[in-house]
Structure 1
Amino acid sequence: MTLITNGRLDRRGFLKTTAAGAIAASLPLGGAYASTPKKGGHFRVGKGHGQTTDTLNPGTWDNGYMLAITFAKDGHITEVLADGSVGPEIAESWEASDDATVWRFKIRKGVTYHSGKEVTPEDVVASINFHRGEDAASAATPIVAPIQDIAIEGDTVIFTLDGGNADFPFILSDYHLPVLPANGETGIDWKSGDGCGSYKLTNFNPGVSSTLERNENHWRDDVAWFDSIELLSLTDQNARTTAMVSGDVDSIDKLDLKTIGLLARNPDLDISSIAGTQHFTFAMSANQAPYDDNNVRLAMKYAINREELVEKILFGYGSVGNDIPIGQGQQFYNTELEQKTYDPDKAKFYLKEAGLDSLDVSLSASDAAFAGAVDAATLYQNSAKDAGINLKVVREPNDGYWSDVWMKKPFTAVYWGGRPVQDQMFSTAYTCGADWNDGFWCNEKFDALLKEARAELDQDKRRQQYWELQEIVSTQGAIVIPMFANYVFASSKKIGKPENIASNWDMDGERWAERWWFA
């Protein structure tokens, strides 16, 4: 067995978070970084996420509002640390067989739920099984599908996979996989809101607000500095910004990058910009015309001016994308993949290959997808004209966008936070039949190669496989990925933060509830 003695698996190459941390340290304007944490205070956050259809069912979570809640109220088997490595949480350590097909996780003793019940290995098994199987109806089903068997041996949970997976500890950090109390009726008790995290959920009003209080009985004493937290769903850009400027909240995410210069002049605010895996996309439904023709999909990819979007939507707070969901700082990023550029003549060529002289399509967008999504769609509309593509922009309401528009309409604006490792990103959204495959795209070669790459332990062979996977997605996939966006958020200068800010999700990996404090 390969023993991970301290429960920490380094991924120095997967995501250059040291570089991202340097960006974070240089851009905030005079904040309380690296001051000594202390307990106290009521922290108010305005999130540009959340909808009235949100529930506490972990299989359905699809936005940053619910991420923030679960990382505060729940414990996970592992967690992605601020430096990009994976560390222990409910599991205190783990070890793997030499071929990485069998993983043994030792479950920490003395961890209790807010109800007082002790967390057991049986809870861990039930929490993962909740997402397994064809009837699971969970967005996490694809990433736990390789698990063939789960067994308990004393305080250890043993996972047997259908093939080797060196990244398996990262998989178990996914936000859909909190450890919740086992329940014979529903598998796990998610309805009560009981959790084993550092904060207790005291009120949950989906799409409006939630409140949490510090869990004084939490097993860690180096997290959760706030006495209480108020989480507000402020999907309207103006309302969110006004709340920040007026002092009604202490932090907001998804800043309006057009006015970020004005915010930065406010002496009471810090602006942070963190480069990571977040990317903004336009998803085409490959299971219906005209997007079932790859020539049409390629025409759409060459009809968008990526540089213009980075300049006018991200205002430089990001980089150009190449229709792959893998960031330039991640391990196995394909550095030799030809970068697509705006080329209306090439777009026309692919339209002709599809037997078309012109194309009429509608693109659904809302700023609930990402700040500036409607403007981005309008820019796309303008650039597509020269390619013979008549793109109608449909402005959708913010509330209900993820339940009523995304994966319901055939062409939609989407944001993705990315995933720590490529297998997790591809398995979640690009394998055939995955619940979050928002391009409804199926490619047998891709699925087979992904399974091979997951089990391959030779790093050179693995790199070649992931490079090929990225080429398939870029040239044949159903997702236009024009830009990678920095995580840009604002906070009061009264808020203290660690020196190293995580880049795997917005606002310090959405672990701000545990990691920040009143300075």
Structure 2
Amino acid sequence: MSMSDTIHPSARAYADEVSAGTLSRREFLTRATSLGVTAAAAYGLLGLAQPANAAAHAQSGGTLRIESSVKALKDPRTYDWPQMSNYTRGYLEYLVEYQIDGSFKPMLLAGWEVNADATEYTLNVRPGVTWNNGEAFTAEDVAFNIARWCETGVEGNSMASRMGSLVDADTGQAREGAITVVDETTVRLTLGQPDITLIAGFSDYPAAIVHQSFNGDPLDTPIGTGPYVPGEFEVGVKAVLVKNEDHAWWGEGAYLDRIEYLDFGTEQAGIVAAVDSDEVDMVYESIGDFIFVMDGIGWAKSEAVTANTVVIRPNQAAEVNGIRPYADARVRRALAMAVDNAVLLELGFSDNGRVAENHHVSPIHPEYAELPAPVFDPAGAKALMDEAGMGDFEHELISIDDTWRKNTSDAAAAMLRDAGINVRRTVLPGSTFWNDWAKYPYSTTDWAQRPLGVQVLALAYRSGEPWNESAFANEEFDTLLSEALSIADADQRREVMAKLQKIMQDEGVIIQPYWRSIYRHHKENVVGAEMHPTFEIHVTKLGFAA
């Protein structure tokens, strides 16, 4: 399977499913391009022309001001916020880029080939790319980064979760023979078990490519392959990218001279005030009732129907006053039974989305399996909590102090109290909350979309993973997940996903109330600013209309 105009037979079969109405266009593009078909060829299979790139009509020059949180930077493989990557994306690029239409675009890779059972990947490195220090970008650099991603001993390295098929469990490093530099433009990956998510993992925001001299700080000697370099940077205030006129960038675009990320806090009222006073040209995200306020200002609005979500999760390993209250599945199931997800969508997110089913696999994921909706039974929830001996226990539900996550948590706490379950609410500022987001006994966290449902389950719920904030550890689940990761055909994978999703529900791992539709407003003359389903801002596509 190669990234070319040669059409893989499976892609033709997927196109037939689109024609029959059993597969969405977005799912088709994700499947076909991950198999190695170019986006242009994939659209051709549907009898369509690939949409024109609106950013190609941008003029050169100018400064674009973006409202966004400015967070402290760290080693990209430990990034836990898209905003970090949106800044460093100006100079630290990616092997693969996930597009708004669901397709995967080769970036620092020119393409790839995958064998039939997804146990061997051949990566073709884009020729002619240079680092901004003048050195050539080669297969050695690709191999170096993939090996870094495999290091499970690095605290917070979530990329190790995505590279599990390359990791030696005994050493916590890349398995001997897993990564082979064939020549200057070719890397061969030999997997320990089949994994159909590898290309999607290369596109995730912690997968930024760093130079072999990288010391862990993206602002210290910022060597990258991209067209910008860091300028002024102050956490919580401002972060600037400046066009690097001394670097011959390999790509097309990079129209702007300067990009400024400006932090106005998490309160939407302050952000709207900045828009109204012409302090910014686009916002990171428009939320809740402020969507309508922003509509009234007259800016352009972009919407993405997504698999972004919020989860209310008990931490099964957490101790509270000498006990582990959430180690008992009855307690977890009772919490979920006491809450009506439709009400949480209405009160928490102004009905801007669709109701979810407490298993973190979305209807827009190719392998989603439709299951019965979770049961809402407040009386049954109270009885189950009492049966577990936790009827008098006071749960502390912790959330960030922003709008929708706070409102969702408030609504959940109210419903739990209505069911007779004791709940205390604690609201923390973001600067405090995110320091320990994975450790709280009972808290609310938002999760960004991944192209595949099986990716989400591997990142968030497989035993021992860095982002497994629920501390869920289930041998049957892990075994089924390994099986699902090895099945390339989404229709076949769906049979295993149904079992995984049901385990999530039966074990009460999370309350996952809704899938978010997300919005972004920007000035009419800004191009390349459309809302991305995973909140990515592709800085080289940004500009002002010619």
Whether the 8 Å contact between 1:326 and 1:418 is mirrored in structure 2 is no
The answer to whether the 8 A contact 1:50-1:207 is kept is: yes
Cα distance in structure 2, aligned partners of 1:172 and 1:233: 28
Report matched runs for 1:62-461 at 5 Å. 62-137=80-155, 138-147=157-166, 148=175, 149-154=178-183, 155-183=185-213, 191-216=220-245, 217=247, 219-237=249-267, 238-267=269-298, 269-288=299-318, 289-335=324-370, 337-367=371-401, 371-403=403-435, 405-461=436-492
| Aligned partner of residue 313 in structure 2, secondary structure | strand
Q: Paired residue for 1:510?
A: 537
The 3-state SS of whatever aligns with 1:40 is coil
Q: CA deviation at 1:312?
A: 2.3
Letter in 1 for 2:413: Q
TM-score normalised by L of structure 2: 0.84
Query: Secondary structure of 1:273's partner?
Result: strand
Structure 2 unaligned runs (5+)? 30-52, 167-174, 319-323
Q: Following TM superposition, by how much is the alpha carbon of 1:400 offset from its aligned partner in structure 2, in angstroms?
A: 3.4
- TM-score, scaled relative to structure 1: 0.88
Query: How many aligned positions are there?
Result: 493
2:463 and 2:473 in contact (8 A); partners too: yes
**In the aligned structure 1, how far is the partner of 2:54 from the partner of 2:401?**
31
Deviation at 1:477, TM superposition (A): 4.7
Answer yes or no: is the 8 Å Cα contact 2:309–2:446 preserved in 1. Answer: yes
**Contact between 2:228 and 2:241, CA under 8 Å: does it hold in 1?**
yes
> 1: distance between equivalents of 2:437 and 2:295?
33
Residues in 2 aligned to 1:230 and 1:486: alpha-carbon distance in whole angstroms? 26
Q: Deviations over 1:99-128 (max 9, x none)?
A: 210101011121122222221211111112
Q: Quick one: distance in 2 between partners of 1:17 and 1:222?
A: 27
1:315 alignment partner AA: S
Structure 1 stretch 240-249 or stretch 430-439: which is displaced more? Answer: 240-249
1:39–1:517 contact (8 Å) kept in structure 2: yes
Q: Partner of 2:242: helix, strand, or coil?
A: strand
Give 1:305 deviation, angstroms.
2.6
Match of 2:327, SS state, is: coil
SS in structure 1 at match of 2:386: helix
Identity percentage over the alignment? 24
The answer on whether the counterparts of 2:462 and 2:478 sit within 8 Å (CA) in structure 1 is yes
Residue type at the aligned position of 1:430:
Y
Say whether the 8 Å CA contact 1:272–1:490 is kept in structure 2. Answer: yes
Tell which has more relative contact order, 1 or 2 (C-alpha 8 A, sep 6+).
1
Tell me the secondary structure at the aligned position of residue 90 of structure 2.
Answer: helix
Structure 1, gaps ≥5 residues long: 20-31
Instruction: Tell me by how many angstroms 1:490 deviates.
Output: 1.5
Q: Deviations over 1:164-223 (max 9, x none)?
A: 22332112112212221113x859987433221232222332333211123454544432
Q: Return the offset for 1:98.
A: 2.2
Equivalent residue runs for 1:33-72 within 5 Å: 36-47=57-68, 49-51=69-71, 54-72=72-90
Letter in structure 1 aligned against 2:4: T
Amino acid in the other structure paired with 1:78: V
Q: Where does residue 26 of structure 2 map in the other structure? A: 16
Q: Secondary structure at the match of 2:511?
A: strand
How much does 1:358 deviate? 4.0
Structural RMSD (CA): 2.7
SS at match of 1:3: coil
CA distance in 1, matches of 2:444, 2:543: 35
Q: What's the counterpart of residue 5 of structure 1?
A: 4
